[in-house]
Amino acid sequence: MHPEIIDAVKRALAEDIGSGDVTSQACVPEGRRASGFFLAREPMVLSGVDLLTVIYEMRGGVEELELRHRDGDRIDEGVRIASVVGPARTLLECERVALNFLQRLSGVASLAHQFALMVEGTKCRVLDTRKTTPGLRRLEKAAAAAGGITNHRMGLFDAILIKNNHIAAAGGVRQAIESARASGLPIEIEVRTMDELNEALASGATHLLLDNLSPQQAEEWVRIVDGRATVELSGGIDLDSVRSYAETGADFVSAGAITHSARAMDISFRLELL
């Protein structure tokens, strides 16, 4: 598992448990054993289930852990996601962190799946964005992929995306593109006016980001591009509008809502004494 994910789990446990779970220590005899299971209380696309292994291992381990479903599985209400047997205190102190990860990541995966369904039958693919929870980007992008969409760049380090402020700082569209070529990295450029679109194409741009257009405007701009560059559409695209944008002929649509506005799924943990 990626070190960033291990670190995120470690920080989450430290944040919640701190110097110890005083309630469990006060109420539950040391050495008492229990079993528990995670229950889906609504239909969802699952994500984050592999984190259960890491969470319990960081707190001393459990006797048994059965992951009954995997990331990307579509599950119904009433389905048991995973079951665990171990020290009652361990199960209790890990409960909230485990649920926080499962609920949040399954929410991202479930919303991503809805977006993917909305563009079926078109050539367009849905991308996520960098609008993620600080410190959880790798997990949230994995959840988005589990829901069936395509990951955009991970960060500022793995691909070039020239946006309007970069263009202003570079001195123009052509200057920004020509300077960026030396990096050898994939280059995408945002254009917001017809003049910028024409200048980008004349400068040899091969990946365009068309931002904040209506579906009608986007269809017209895609027609002007005419296959000379890959086209991505962005800007306020949601479940209600994504189909209209996908039908413009664009190659991609990106939606920040997948990670910044996904709601937590309803998952519970039930504990029973052995």
Q: What is the pLDDT of residue 170?
A: 94
Listed residue (112, 5, 20) closest to 52, CA to CA: 5
C-alpha torsion sign, points 245, 247, 248, 251: positive
Q: What is the pLDDT of residue 272?
A: 96
When the pLDDT of each residue in the chain is averaged and rounded to a whole number, the result is 97
* pTM assigned to the model: 0.95
Verify whether residue 181 is a known catalytic residue.
Answer: no
Token representation of residue 183: 């990096």
Verify whether residue 96 is a known catalytic residue.
Answer: yes
Domains, the chain: 3-110+263-273 (3.90.1170.20), 116-260 (3.20.20.70)
Query: Which residue is catalytic, options 131, 219, 238, 266?
Result: 131
Query: Which residue is catalytic, options 21, 71, 188, 190?
Result: 190
Verify whether residue 190 is a known catalytic residue.
Answer: yes
Contact between 273 and 146 under an 8 Å Cβ cutoff? The reply is no
Query: Which residue is catalytic, options 33, 74, 80, 96?
Result: 96
85-128 pLDDT per residue, tens: 999 999 999 999 999 999 999 999 999 999 999 999 999 999 99
| CB-facing half-sphere around the CA of 23: CA atoms within 13 A | 6
DSSP one-letter string for 200-235:
HHHTT--EEEEES--HHHHHHHHHHHTTSSEEEEES
Verify whether residue 223 is a known catalytic residue.
Answer: no
Q: Looking only at Cα atoms, what is the longest distance across the chain? A: 74
Verify whether residue 211 is a known catalytic residue.
Answer: yes
Query: Which residue is catalytic, options 68, 163, 174, 192?
Result: 163
167-203 pLDDT per residue, tens: 999 999 999 999 999 898 889 999 999 999 999 999 9
Query: Which residue is catalytic, options 16, 73, 211, 238?
Result: 211
Low-confidence ranges of the chain (pLDDT < 70): none
Give the other-Cβ count within 10 Å of 84's Cβ: 23
